[in-house]
Structure 1
């Protein structure tokens, strides 16, 4: 069984020659111009740009929240618009240079909003969550770069199956809570809830390896330049997921004190 990256942006299908759009076919027909091909350094630069945009937007929302504005409004609005941009970009990769910055902007509103909500209730939690996310990213990047962790087909299968299981569980738990007034086991600060959060964080971190691998494959296959934005956007999606899960875990641990 051949699983790909959980991240819809970084699947083998998205980074294969069969998924090339008409614009990409034209690219292949032209004389090779290495300045128009996806590179690792270019993807890193794009990721840094998206991170800066996201951080700036989050800081604005953070400031507004601590000056009287309800943070739920930008958090909810940013999440919805960000999701729409993700869906569009997953089908229109050539628009990534425009959609990726927009995603970072609105996802920054979301991150800033929920961060403010958690910080008000649990002072200091945001710094810890940011630090944990950064350390996890650097550790995973180092393990991947030095080939300590190799992304094999079996590795992909385990990570993707686990990710799909998490997504399915979250979806059905949410529906059950709406229909039957059911309280999911991952709510609260019990040991079971904390254990689930730890498991989800581990799977989110493992998805980083799949993201790194797919970006590297895109570079090796000499994908078009706009795929740098596409790959960077996909990596940001995983990092946002990881950060949110760290916020949830740390809030559960804080509430036990």
Structure 2
């Protein structure tokens, strides 16, 4: 699987099959995390809940002891090279921090709108390259964050001219969505399983295609294209975009949880940070559009 935001498909830590580790076996010496899971379902060979081998059980970072399912000895414990929550927090802080710094610089320097959109295109390309790479590249991810920040700084200043204070409100709204999804995920109100992942990915791809069509109609037909970014319909579309972004945040949390549980290599924390950044940027831009529409009505 590939890790990303609503534009791309999600890559998890179960590399044999499943979404973000769905259906993967736990490391040796650990109980099956889905044995009492209310949404796990029954594992059937070849079915949606099939149990492939833990992709990290044989690497030098997997837990030691014997595999509960095969009885085979596993590699000794070497926690130094395994992904931890602290790794994810640190990498995410670096990535989001660079986005904020670049955005602040673009705002302060009053970069031209054309330059800002050029930075956005570069960020999109860099995001695509990282998405299709076999391994995360810290330099590529940080470069994406820098160009994404330049784009957001230009866009935020433009929206602030139309609806004063909109960027601050959008930041607060994004933080609220993040906190709400995290609480809902931790309390299992949101149940991230195969069906949830398929729905979120499908909805994200459909949303992006719809927005692309709206943009094409706007370019060649003038005005607001299909009218999906103005008026009551624009607000409804924006809310839908926020909900899709929230669903991808839940997939990010699942990805991180599985990465820590299954002993993913530490470098995978960069991939988790990349996914979180993409999802938060997505949510921020959608909230920014909603606020701008509300201020213009």
Shorter-chain TM range is 0.7 to 0.9
Instruction: Give the match's secondary structure for 2:192.
Output: coil
Counterparts of 1:157 and 1:84, CA distance in 2: 24
Counterparts of 2:10 and 2:205, CA distance in 1: 15
Question: Which of these two proteins has the greater Rg computed from alpha carbons?
Answer: 2
Contact 1:97 1:229 in 2 (8 A): yes
Instruction: Give the match's secondary structure for 1:163.
Output: helix
- More RCO (CA 8 Å, sep 6+): 1
The partner residue of 1:17 within 2, 15, 18 is 15
**Aligned residue for 2:78?**
33
Contact 2:203 2:244 in 1 (8 A): yes
* TM-score, L = length of structure 2: 0.74
Q: 1:156 to 1:148 in 2, by over 3 A?
A: same
Counterparts of 2:215 and 2:176, CA distance in 1: 30
**Aligned residue for 2:120?**
79
**Aligned residue for 2:52?**
none
Q: Does residue 64 of the first structure (1) align with residue 109 of the second (2)? A: yes
Residues 212-236 of structure 1, C-alpha deviations (whole Å, 9 max, x = no match): 1122222222222111011101110
**Aligned residue for 2:26?**
none
- How many matched pairs? 241
* Structure 1: stretches of 5+ with no match in the other structure: none
Contact 2:5 2:279 in 1 (8 A): no
More helix by share: 1
**Aligned residue for 2:243?**
202
**Aligned residue for 1:185?**
227
Counterparts of 2:165 and 2:15, CA distance in 1: 46
The partner residue of 2:193 within 149, 152, 163 is 152
Contact 2:6 2:204 in 1 (8 A): yes
Contact 2:6 2:279 in 1 (8 A): no
* Structure 2: stretches of 5+ with no match in the other structure: 18-54, 62-74
* TM-score, L = length of structure 1: 0.84
The partner residue of 1:224 within 252, 265, 290 is 265
Residues 84-128 of structure 1, C-alpha deviations (whole Å, 9 max, x = no match): 221221232534222121111111111111001111221111110
